[in-house]
Chains A and B, each alone.
Chain A
Amino acid sequence: MLILECPYCGVKGEETEFHGGGEAHLKRFGPGSSDADFETYLFMRENPKGVHLERWRHVNGCGKWFHVARCTMTLEVFGSYSAQTLEPPKEIKDILSAKRPGWSWRNFS
């Protein structure tokens, strides 16, 4: 039973206040994109063992979406950050580098 901190309202709540939204930082491909890009966007997933970047919504709370950096092997939470970004902010990357040296996730490291 995870505890997550919503970066918008500051609540540190238990998992049942939140709703998981899957892999983060997906680039949307619309009309005009290739079949392969579109398939990747909709279906291909990192599904990593270790550091993962994912989306959550504070559904039983302030209603905001946000990002979480989490380890899928230990469930350690490295931090949460704004939904309005295309990549994890430096603070999160720094934490990841400190706690999981050599980490990489898609094209971030």
Chain B
Amino acid sequence: MSEARSALPNAKFDGIAHVEDAGLRGMISFRGDLSASKVKAALKAVSGVEMPSQRGCNVTGESGLAWMSPDEILVMVPHAEAAAAVEKLSKALKGQHFMAENVSDARAVFTVAGKHAREVIGKLAPVDMGTFQTGEIRRTRIAQVAAAFWMHGPDAFTVVCFRSGAQYMFDVLSVAAQSGSEVGVY
């Protein structure tokens, strides 16, 4: 079989910020009792990071955990390891009521980086980008679709949406990053 493909391999746009397809990421939608120590241990074992607090996001490299709701965590691992991670979680939590569903291919991931990256997001999402910080994840709306984002570095954002909307997301981010559209507030 051929190589697994992201929705928009190598898509790039340069304007007041740099927008780029981030390729495939391993993502597991985990639902369960987040306060259970067994669950915490299992999640740490597959991701290598501590359980984040409410709306928190602990990411190192391609792995990490992001708080999605009181009973949902997004587990991130390298794309090729997602299926194995699901297996590992299932084994560790056998007998418990939980769900670990591989949703890696249901997502598209972009990075938005540069001095005006905050403004690009701020044009599209109803979120106070003046106070947004590393370590937070925000699930919200970007233009007309549901999305989530966090910061993976200073002035650098990771944006996640559904795969089917990848082209739309790339296009709206590019429009928002068009040359000459600096707002100049951050």
Contacts and interface: CB of A to CB of B under 8 A. Distances in A.
Assess A/B contact in the complex (Cβ within 8 A): yes
Interface of A: 8-11, 13-14, 16-17, 59-64
Interface string B103-114: 000000000000
Interface string B68-80: 1110100000000
A107 B141 CA distance: 37
Interface of B: 54-55, 68-70, 72, 126, 138-141, 146
Contacts, number: 37
Nearest to A7: B70
A9 B72 CA distance: 11
A98 to B, nearest CB: 28
Q: Can you list the 8 inter-chain pairs with the closest CB atoms, starting with the nearest?
A: A62-B69, A60-B141, A14-B126, A61-B139, A60-B146, A8-B70, A60-B140, A10-B54
A9 B52 CA distance: 13
A63 B70 CA distance: 10
Contacts of B139: 9, 11, 60-62
Given A61-B140, A64-B69, 16 more contacts: A8-B69, A9-B55, A10-B55, A11-B138, A11-B140, A13-B140, A16-B141, A17-B140, A17-B141, A59-B146, A60-B139, A60-B141, A60-B146, A61-B139, A62-B68, A62-B70
20 contacts: A8-B69, A9-B54, A9-B55, A10-B55, A11-B55, A11-B138, A11-B139, A11-B140, A13-B126, A16-B126, A16-B141, A17-B140, A17-B141, A59-B146, A60-B141, A60-B146, A62-B69, A62-B72, A62-B139, A63-B69
Contacts of B69: 8-9, 62-64
Contacts of B54: 9-10
A8 B55 CA distance: 10
Contacts of B146: 59-60
Contacts of A8: 69-70
A74 B55 CA distance: 31
A8 to B, nearest CB: 5
Contacts of A11: 55, 138-140
A39 to B, nearest CB: 35
B70 A64 contact: yes
